[in-house]
Amino acid sequence: MKQIIIIFFSLFSTIQVNAQKPDSEALLKEGMLLYRLEKAAWYSTDHFLENFPDKRDSIGGYLSYEGIDGHVYSIFYSRFDHNSILARYQFDNLPTSTPNSVDTEVASAFENETDLISIRQDAMMMLTSNSDGFFTYYENASFNAIPLIDGKNRKVFILSASQKQGSVFIGNDYLLKYNSKNKFIGKNKLHNSLIELPYKDPNGQNINATMHTHILSNHIEPTDICTLLLYKDYVDWSQHYAFNKDYISILDLDKENLIIMTKKAFDKINKNDLH
């Protein structure tokens, strides 16, 4: 068996354990969607700030979404009128640094964009006020809000992004839920803490995989998948494990593949490989 050197971290989740086996296909699908949306946000933000500095002070926010045509779009909306779009980017389904098109003619938001802006703005207001202390702020970390709408299912994922060079942050993420009228209906923490995964081992060891543990959640989260894939080209390791007492989630960063197996099966495989 190929030796795996694992950095151990502990993450605590507040999600109730589902007795059924986690749906790896659904988790990977949502994680991949978040990943593609964040890639588009990265590329469009860099391009916007570099090419349209005169519009910078007018930005009220930005977001990315997948269109019905399969393309990924990023929009920047005005702080003076949230339904006024300053720029709209179109990317391929898997965004690259070069957008297919950039439209900077000020225009009104499409209906779906209006809904996405509405729930994102509400989420950002809750983050900013934090009146009940629900959100935790960490040094060298910033929040990214990703709104998603799938029919009547509307939600905003809140990710903690690393501002520290050479490190990936996992955890301190949240899920806010909204009804079909964009009214807030609930929130929960996906993890209770934040962990730091270095790009490279500080002692120069060869790290093939990293891991974290879920005490109450029995699967890796879509936010974990998103973050890990975003940084896959920067880190030395190619696999990440999420350990729970019942299930083990194994994400292959290179193959963009997720396997979830019972801990019993995982232990049996490891035992056989040691003989």
Phi, psi (rounded to 5 degrees) for 90: -120, 130
pLDDT at 192: 86
Q: Is residue 186 part of a domain?
A: yes
| 3-state SS record for 103-149 | ECCCEECCHHHHHHHHHHHHHHHHHHHCCCCCCCCCCCEEEEEEEEE
Which of 196, 258, 184, 195 minimizes the C-alpha distance to 226?
258
* Spans in the chain with pLDDT lower than 70: 1-19, 216, 272-275
pLDDT at 273: 60
Q: Is residue 13 part of a domain?
A: yes
3-class DSSP assignment, residue 268: helix
Q: Is residue 219 part of a domain?
A: yes
pLDDT at 176: 98
Q: Is residue 117 part of a domain?
A: yes
Number of domains in the chain: 1
| Whole-angstrom distance, CA of residue 28 vs CA of residue 246 | 19
Task: Please state the pTM of the whole predicted model.
Answer: 0.90
Which of 84, 83, 87 minimizes the C-alpha distance to 54?
87
pLDDT at 27: 97
Q: Is residue 1 part of a domain?
A: no
pLDDT at 239: 96
* Torsion 41-46-47-48 (CA) sign: positive
Tokens 């916007």 belong to which residue?
A: 48
Which of 55, 48, 163, 182 minimizes the C-alpha distance to 123?
182
Q: Give the pLDDT confidence of 21-75 residue by residue, as tens digits.
A: 899 999 999 999 999 999 999 999 999 999 999 999 999 999 999 999 999 999 9
pLDDT at 52: 96
Q: Is residue 10 part of a domain?
A: yes
For 72, 179, 237, 271, the CA distances from 233, given in Å and listed in that order, are 21, 37, 10, 32
For 122, 185, 258, the CA distances from 155, given in Å and listed in that order, are 11, 10, 23
Give the pairing type, strands 6-7 and 209-214. parallel
Q: Is residue 259 part of a domain?
A: yes
Q: Is the Cβ–Cβ distance between 35 and 251 less than 8 Å? A: no
Q: What are the CB-based long-range contacts (under 8 Å, 24+) for 112-117?
A: 112/65, 112/149, 113/65, 113/75, 113/77, 113/85, 114/83, 115/149, 115/154, 115/182, 116/63, 116/65, 116/147, 116/149, 117/61, 117/63, 117/77, 117/82, 117/83, 117/147
Burial label for 56, CB within 10 Å (0-12, 13-18, 19+), is exposed
Q: Is the Cβ–Cβ distance between 15 and 190 less than 8 Å? A: yes
Q: Is residue 100 part of a domain?
A: yes
Written as six digits, the tokens of 89 are 């980017």
pLDDT at 272: 65
Tokens 């809750």 belong to which residue?
A: 126
> What does the buried/exposed string (b/e) look like for 72-108 if buried means 16 or more CB atoms within 10 Å of the residue's CB?
bbbbbbbeeebeebbbbbbbeeebeeebeeeeeeeee
pLDDT at 267: 84
Show the domain range for 123: 6-273
